[in-house]
């Protein structure tokens, strides 16, 4: 008996359409079909077989921080992402500057419309 991999991350969001636009247009995730649940939401593909599930109707506060609760997605070209996430291309985006971790991985953190922190990272070669 063993755990195989992370299947999905679920985030509770206040406005599904606004959050879906952020994950589709800013973080470039591919929308995917979602079962007909009786509550609002949207699903996105991350990489080959992992997913992000947005669950609507959030009313509670979000407690997230780049050094606390967040999730990370591995990216292929940090320079391209840094340019894509620049303030003139994504006005109002809250983000950190590009950093290098002690193990050599590069990171940029951004917040979604609800204040969930998302890490983009490129592992050291």
Residue ranges of domains in the chain: 8-122
Fold of 8-122: 2,3-Dihydroxybiphenyl 1,2-Dioxygenase; domain 1 (3.10.180)
pTM: 0.93
In which band, very low, low, confident or very high, does the pLDDT at 92 lie, cut at 50, 70 and 90? confident
Report in angstroms the alpha-carbon separations of 112 from 21, 53, 70: 10, 14, 11
Q: pLDDT of 25-59, one tens digit each? A: 999 999 999 999 999 999 999 999 999 999 999 99
Nearest residue to 41 via CA among 59, 71, 19, 68: 19
């Amino acid at each position: 008996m063993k755990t195989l991999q992370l299947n999905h991350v679920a985030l509770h969001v206040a406005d599904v359409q606004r959050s879906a636009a952020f994950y589709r247009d800013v973080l470039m995730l591919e929308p995917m079909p979602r079962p007909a649940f009786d509550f609002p939401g949207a699903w996105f593909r991350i990489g080959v077989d992992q997913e992000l599930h947005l669950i609507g109707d959030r009313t509670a506060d979000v407690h997230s921080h780049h050094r606390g609760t967040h999730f990370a997605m591995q990216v292929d070209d940090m320079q391209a992402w840094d340019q894509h996430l620049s303030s003139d291309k994504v006005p109002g985006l809250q983000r950190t500057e590009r950093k290098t971790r002690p193990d050599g991985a590069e990171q940029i953190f951004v917040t979604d419309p609800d204040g969930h922190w998302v890490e983009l990272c490129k592992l050291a070669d």
